[in-house]
Structure 1
Amino acid sequence: MKTLKGPSLHLAQFSDVAPPFNSLPAIAAWAADRGFKALQIPAWDERLFDVSLAAHSQDYCEEVSGTLAEHGLVISELTTHLFGQLVAVHPAYDRLCDGFAPPALQGNAAAKTEWALERLRLSAKASRRLGLTDMGTFSGSFAWPYLFPFPQRPAGLIDSAFDELAKRWLPILNACDEEGVNLCYEIHPGEDLHDGVTFEMFLQRVDNHPRCRILFDPSHFVLQQLDYLDYLDIYRDFIRMFHVKDAEFNPTGRQGLYGGYQGWADRAGRFRSVGDGQVDFKGIFSKLALHDYAGWATLEWECCLKDQDDGARQGVAFINEHIIRVTDKVFDDFAGAAVDQAQLDAMLGLARPSLQGRA
């Protein structure tokens, strides 16, 4: 068993135009003051990080690492979710994704995808220069509008979507392999990889690629009513990243799973600050310790009620309280005694009188 690392903080929900959230030195000082040990950096946020420069300059990478080290921090991982989202975009969502790309590319779906694929390659190179082994992302989606099968889905629609998804991602997985970096897909509603079955469909199509891995976030499974503890047992060998994010599902006589037309505060399923929702984190941290997960526990703050600074401060304490420092002892050793093989045989009734000398 291994003791996982933490707490780390995913910066995507904290980055802002106002200080101290608009530069890496300032946000590092803020995070260290609240007790974080690492930062998970969104590679798309140019206020904090220049992924192109990092891919080509070791000096810049050492400068970034040094900036964090001044505050007792390290980089846990880079994330590339907005790049990944642009790899596969259904036309219904194309305009909604325009803000993920440079203004000159907006409205040009093919150009946005090509730009995103190159950014993913740069992110893998940057990860290697920074000494990182795992990188988070989204899969994007062609088929999400067809999740509910009415009107009836035509035969072959989902297979075609996953075939194209794998075709686009396979070169990126190969590029990650060249850099020694695992690509960890966050299994997430809105993505074609949104549960275990869809991950397996994709994994098969990329020929069980050794860099195809999982970013585990239990909050999305609460909203899907999926057994996330069983999921940890099934996919233990694939999970390389972990977002500590809480959620709750409170169906009523008026709404349930498809209450998505309401604002976040009014949905049956909604995200909450850690400890305020329904996720069984004691069970999760126990499973991760048992399964030798050696990565980071990274707070991802998303809450429809609580102030983000309170969520960050409380999240640090929550993660520290839940990390299991694994034991190197067996608790009942005090009652044990040395036993040789002859005694073991006797305990099992296997001892036999010697037949030597008998006629």
Structure 2
Amino acid sequence: MKTIKGPAIFLAQFMGAEAPFDTLDNLAGWAAGLGYEGIQLPTDKRLFDLELAADSQTYCDDITGMLASHGIALTELSTHLQGQLVAVHPAYDALFDGFAPAQVRANPQARQAWATSQLKLAARASRRLGLNAHASFSGALAWPYLYPWPQRPAGLVEEAFGELARRWRPILDAFEDAGVDLCYELHPGEDLHDGVTFERFLEAVGNHPRASILYDPSHFVLQQLDYLAFIDIYHTRIKAFHVKDAEFRPDGRQGVYGGYGNWVDRAGRFRSLGDGQIDFKAIFSKMAQYDYAGWAVLEWECCLKHPEDGAREGADFIRRHIIRVAERAFDDFAGSGADRAQLRTLMGIAP
């Protein structure tokens, strides 16, 4: 068995204009000072040049060397925003245009081509950086039709997933060439948001070996999905892990859908680690049981607590939950040491 690596922290929610949140060097020093051993890095030009990393081993070596000088490892790159733009329903065009560079806005085809190129660059950059997993979103074509009213016409969902697969298959092939797993964060708003939708997609891409899962139990709490059973079912595809807490407290006025409320007013809310309802002891136990070999990465999102407090508390929380796996069985001391002949005798079979 393998011991989970960590604690690590996803930097997306902490980038800012002021030190220590303004540069990758400063953020690495800040994270190390809190006790983190790794960072998950958004491919944002404020911190990281994805195009340069895809083609320059020197640049990648400089990045990993700088991080190592702080005692920090790079866990995964993230293209959540670019992955979102691989598939955008027209209802969301205006909102998601803000994720794209100015030259491709108001042009869905150009925006999709740019996003696809970004993912392929991320595959090459991940290989140069010595990474074996990558974090992203799937995007969505069917999400506006999630609730079956008005009645969906026959074949709509199948066509949506067929198109999603056509867009992602060349990207998955690029990750196969790079030897890197592409881990989709299963997330409401994405066509891949639970086990059923992941299975639909997996079938549509021919069970592609690089189609993997970024496991984040917070999104399953808000959907009222059994997040522990999910690990039992999909552990062979789980290749990345966001440690994020959440709570779901329905009442007589609202439930899963939240009544269009802001985050602080919703029945389902993201919380800082330890402030929600998720059973992380059970999660880390299952991850150890199934030999998860990757990183435990804090993704901080909370509608109440200050982010710096959440980050400070998160490192210790993750460290306390990582299970250093046993190197031998607990009852080895009582082993009989019987040879094959004795074993057959015990069963009443002639040696």
TM-score strictly above 0.5: yes
Are 1:168 and 2:201 matched, yes or no? Answer: no
TM-score by length of 1: 0.95
In 2, distance between residues paired with 1:216 and 1:109? 29
Q: Given the alignment of the two structures, is residue 314 of structure 1 paired with residue 313 of structure 2, yes or no? A: yes
Equivalent in the alignment of 2:62: 63
Secondary structure of the corresponding residue to residue 111 of structure 2:
helix
SS at match of 1:242: strand
Deviation at 1:133, TM superposition (A): 1.1
What's the secondary structure of 2:236's corresponding residue?
Answer: coil
Q: Percent identity?
A: 63
Q: CA deviation at 1:344?
A: 3.0
Which residue number in structure 1 is paired with residue 21 of structure 2? 21
Structure 2: state its 5+ residue gaps. none
- The residue matched to 1:114 in structure 2 has which SS? helix
CA distance in 2, matches of 1:278, 1:137: 25
Tell me how far 1:342 sits from its aligned partner: 4.1
Higher helix share: 2
1:348 to partner: Cα distance: 3.1
Provide the C-alpha distance between the structure 2 equivalents of 1:334 and 1:208, rounded to a whole number of angstroms: 43
Shift in Å at residue 339 of structure 1?
2.4
- Per the normalisation by structure 2, the TM-score is 0.97
The 1:179–1:346 alpha-carbon spacing in structure 2 relative to 1, beyond 3 Å, is closer
Name the residue aligned to 1:270: 269
The amino acid of 2:2's aligned partner reads K
The ranges of structure 1 where at least 4 consecutive aligned residues each deviate by more than 6 angstroms after the TM superposition are: none
Aligned equivalent of 2:7? 7
Instruction: Please state how far the C-alpha of 1:330 moved relative to its aligned partner.
Output: 1.6
Aligned partner of 2:326 in structure 1 is: 327
* Residue type at the aligned position of 2:194: D
Secondary structure of the structure 1 residue equivalent to 2:13: coil
Residue of structure 2 equivalent to 1:41: 41
Q: Distance in 2 between matches of 1:3 and 1:47?
A: 33
The residue aligned with 1:357 is: none
Query: Within 5 Å, which residues of 2 pair with 1:1-359?
Result: 1-43=1-43, 45-350=44-349
Q: CA deviation at 1:191?
A: 0.4
Q: Deviations over 1:295-318 (max 9, x none)?
A: 000000001111111111111001
What's the offset of the Cα at 1:173? 0.6
Q: One-letter code of the match for 1:30?
A: W
Residue type of the alignment partner of 1:97: F
Superposed CA RMSD: 1.2
Shift of 1:2: 1.0
AA in 2 matched with 1:275: G
CA–CA separation in structure 1 for the residues paired with 2:159 and 2:327: 50
The farther-off stretch of 187-196 and 336-345 is: 336-345
| Per-residue Cα deviation, 1:3-35 (whole angstroms, up to 9, x for no partner) | 010011101111112221111111111001001
| 1:235 partner SS | helix
Instruction: Describe the SS at the equivalent of 1:236.
Output: helix
Structure 1: runs of 5 or more not aligned: 353-359
Distance 1:332 1:17, change over 3 A: same
